[in-house]
Chain A
Amino acid sequence: MLCDNLPDTPSISVVAQMQLLPELVEQIKENEGVIFVDANIETPAAGLNLFSLDDADDAQGQIKQIVLSHQCSPFDLIATTSALYGVKPQAWLLTTCGVNFTLGEQMSPSVALLVKEAVSRISKIIGQN
């Protein structure tokens, strides 16, 4: 839903993933900036939360247990990109609290209401950078 609403320009590529994979570092290294968008059950409930991942270099402090398989985090990917390729794109995490994670094609209603705001915030980040 978010992909359909984001601007379709050559400078932006949208990657829809069911989970974050280590192999994404090869794509990440080619870009100046990365915005991770996620609905997470552990995020505080109200609205959208935007985090800068600029401190991702401090991997040892930020990440207690790195297991790049089922549990790859945006921090892991940025830190690994930096370590492997010497590049560190600007990175953000835009997240909200997810409600319903069962099989289906629709977002939870509370998350669907946030799509317009999410698109606006992503567009603002892209415009400023």
Chain B
Amino acid sequence: MSKTIVIDPVTRIEGHAKITIHLDDGGEVQNAFFHVTQLRGFEKFAEGRPFAEMPSLMSRICGICPVSHLIASAKACDMLMAVQIPPVAAQLRRIINLAQIAQSHALSFFYLSCPDFVFGMDGDPKQRNIVGLAQNMPELIRDGIHLRKTGQTIIELLGDKKIHPGWVVAGGVNKPLSKTHRQEIQAMLPDAIAIAEKNLQWFIEQMPRFAEEISAFAKVESMYMSLQGKDGKLETYDGSLCLTDSSGNAVVSGLASEDYGSIIEEKITPNSYLKSPYYKPHGFPKGMYRVGPLARLHNAQSCGTPRADKALTQFKQLNSRSSFYYHYARLIEILYAFEKIEQILANESILDDHVRAHASPNAYEGFGVAEAPRGTLMHHYKIDKNGLITYADLVIATGHNNLAMNSEITETARFFIKNEKFTEGILNRVEAAIRAYDPCLSCSTHAFGQMPLHIELRSSAGTLLDDAKR
């Protein structure tokens, strides 16, 4: 008799989701789905608002990556004003975005994923959490807290608040960087870089313990999308869009980011509030691609900072098909972020006080694309002649990964679940497959629809057989 296994809620991710695993009559995994069980709806209630409000409004989408939305939104507003912002403003926005990426990655790695790396996938669930980590490997958590705090402090020094900062506005930023704040940030960076490098090395040493998971998480064949800078450099604020295949061959390169609509379409599926973007020429669902740290480093030829470049060279020797390496990529990006901030701040022009371009609306449509911690983030707005929003469409990083996450859990479940047998450790591995993507479901759920919200273990006939609550 076929069954459905349900994991609800999925633990140690941002937001609320469940997983259903459908077994066939032989007890083998037939299919698995990742259901996002929360609705946010920002695309709808932004309508009618003055466009200049959008960065502040959109940053409220998420408490983990508000800066990412601030930046993508501000870039869309820049286009509505038809302005080119002062170069220093772009660099300042780049700094706050990098700080955001660093602190978000630190949260994902140290708080959400390290319990698995320290205690193992079969570790006691009562211990496999932040307090268990604090009790058994306090230095690891102190390092994670330090990296998070560094990123958060940089955001606060620039934007006056750690969460939902202002400062990034249409046309640039609303005040220049002071000498004092620059010095404060510079003073924090050497420690942060050293800690990032130390933990990157620690993780590399742990990876052989997870050979089975690395293999299990490598079954998904996908393309990889990200922004890319000049000469193929890693880029998080600007650049052009690129899409590569699993071998690194270019599928799309040098596409102006505002033209993403020419290659990406979104599909709403009935079982989730999370939309499924896909690469149009390949159709749905074959047009599956991944975004985020794994994709960015898969696509990048170099980082442009010394330690991160050295780490990237080592990273490139691996088969980045395995989503387990998202964790590895995250640590490299933390290192890159702090090194890059250090580089930018070394230039005296960063203190320039011309940081904002002023204009009324000069276009009815604007696009803003930037790299959020979890991947490429796109904001698209239309306004009327009074500058009021008539349309808003957000394509969120986690949304880009939706198809891949669904494939991932299907393949992971197939790898580990045999003859209807599953343990706590196996279910944790299925969750871990999702956790590798570090989905942020608060950001990504804006489609309207109905959906179930409970745990189910069902037969192929639909009979409820069991619960798999956690």
Contact = CB atoms under 8 A, between A and B. Distances in A.
B138 A84 contact: yes
A70 B131 contact: no
A63 B144 CA distance: 21
A98 interface: no
A55 to B, nearest CB: 14
Contact of A68 (B111, B126, B138, B161): B111
B145 A22 contact: yes
Interface string B6-25: 00000110110000000000
Nearest to B60: A103
B131 A69 contact: no
Interface stretch (A1-9, A30-38, A75-83, A107-115): A75-83
Contact of A84 (B15, B107, B134, B161): B134
B148 A23 contact: yes
Interface string B159-181: 00111100000000000000000
Nearest to B9: A65
Contacts of A66: 129-131
A83 B134 CA distance: 5
B141 interface: yes
A48 to B, nearest CB: 26
Interface string A48-89: 000000000001100101111110000010011001100000
Contacts of A80: 130-131, 134, 141
Contacts of B142: 84
Nearest to B162: A21
A18 interface: yes
A21 B152 contact: yes
Given A68-B111, A69-B14, A83-B131, A26 B63 contact: no
Contact of B64 (A26, A60, A65, A69): A69
Contact of B138 (A18, A26, A83): A83
B interface residue count range (under 10 / 10 to 19 / 20 to 34 / 35 or more): 20 to 34
Interface string B136-158: 00100110110011001000000
Interface in B317-344: none
Nearest to A56: B131
Contact of A23 (B126, B131, B149, B164): B149
A23 B152 contact: yes
Contact of B131 (A21, A26, A76, A103): A76
B135 interface: yes
A19 interface: yes
B14 A22 contact: no
A21 B164 CA distance: 14
A114 B135 CA distance: 38
Contact of A18 (B126, B130, B163, B442): B163
A26 B111 contact: no
B112 interface: yes
B107 A60 contact: no
Contacts of A23: 145, 148-149, 152
A119 interface: no
A113 B211 CA distance: 59
A39 interface: no
Contact of A79 (B15, B131, B161, B442): B131
A65 B10 CA distance: 11
A69 B111 contact: yes
Given A26-B149, A76-B131, A79-B131, A84 B111 contact: no
A65 B131 contact: no
B199 to A, nearest CB: 16
Given A19-B63, A26-B149, A84-B138, A68 B130 contact: yes
Contacts of B145: 22-23, 25-26, 84
Nearest to A18: B163
Nearest to A75: B131
Contacts of A69: 14, 64, 107, 111-112
28 contacts: A18-B161, A18-B163, A19-B63, A22-B145, A23-B145, A25-B145, A26-B149, A59-B131, A60-B131, A65-B11, A65-B129, A66-B129, A66-B130, A67-B112, A67-B130, A68-B111, A68-B130, A69-B64, A69-B107, A69-B111, A70-B14, A70-B15, A70-B64, A76-B130, A79-B134, A80-B134, A83-B131, A83-B138
Interface of A: 18-19, 21-23, 25-26, 59-60, 63, 65-70, 76, 79-80, 83-84, 103
Given A22-B145, A23-B148, A69-B112, 17 more contacts: A18-B164, A21-B152, A22-B148, A23-B145, A25-B145, A26-B149, A59-B131, A63-B131, A67-B112, A68-B111, A69-B14, A69-B111, A70-B15, A80-B130, A83-B134, A83-B135, A84-B141
